[in-house]
Amino acid sequence: MSELIEAQKARLYRTTIGFWVYLMTDCLLFASLFATYAVLRTATAGGPGAADIFELPLALTETIILLVSSFTCGLMLLGLQAKNRRQVIVAMALTYALGVAFLAIEIGEFAKFVAEGHSWQQSAFLSAFFTLVGTHGLHILFGLLWLVVMLVVVVRRGLTPKVTRQLTIFGLFWHFLDLVWIFIFTVVYLLGVAS
């Protein structure tokens, strides 16, 4: 029995380290997109620039929603440690709802830009904007999908060793996306509107 626990521990350790390494590679992916955005920020080709189209209140709302979802995600991890299944489920559901809200706002923003004629085809600046922010959005979407699958597992099977591992790294993932968003908020929206 103790051997089994040892093996579980080793697995958790490997999975966590592996996920950290993966996050580092994802970080570099975003770094490439950020660098591109920085270069193309002013390449508006006669179209609108950052200051013309971004609305800070909206971006701030998104930021707050994501921050709160990081908090609920933290609650989930605490529940996991306490092996409190109900807390885990509730926190997962809350995180999910907040994630959906965030995505909805983002999609709304994108749709508005497109409707106003400022799609990704208009200028290099807009291509870079849609790609950078959209890549983050895709990550969120992926995270939500992942969350649903795990929610089903937790509800039906309880906190199995595997889902425990997965939830642990999901926590890392979600905080990471929060962090990336803070950068997006600062570099794209704040500095953009200030420029």
> Can you say how many angstroms the Cα of residue 167 is from the centroid of all Cα atoms in its chain?
15
Say whether residue 123 binds another protein (CB under 8 A).
yes
* Residues between 127 and 156 with contacts to another protein, criterion CB under 8 A: 127-128, 130-131, 145, 149, 153
When asked if residue 174 is in the footprint of another protein (CB under 8 A), the reply is no
Q: What is the distance between the alpha carbons of residues 126 and 45, in angstroms, rounded to a whole number? A: 10
Task: Please state the closest distance from residue 40 (CB atom) to another protein, in A.
Answer: 6
Residue 25 found at the interface with another protein (CB under 8 A): yes
- Token representation of residue 122: 């208009």
Residue span binding another protein (CB under 8 A) among the ranges 4-12, 51-59, 60-68, 183-191: 4-12
The binder of another protein chosen from 74, 162, 175, 179 (CB under 8 A): 162
Q: Are 174 and 72 in contact (CB under 8 A)?
A: no
Does position 13 interact with another protein (CB under 8 A)? The reply is yes
Single residue of 5, 17, 60, 82 touching another protein by CB under 8 A? 17
Taking the least distance from each CB to another protein, the nearer of 74 and 161 is 161
Stretch near another protein under the rule CB under 8 A, chosen from 19-27, 64-72, 73-81, 93-101: 19-27
The residues binding another protein (CB under 8 A) are 7, 10-11, 13-14, 17-18, 21-22, 24-29, 31-33, 35-36, 39-40, 43-45, 120-125, 127-128, 130-131, 145, 149, 153, 157, 160-162, 166
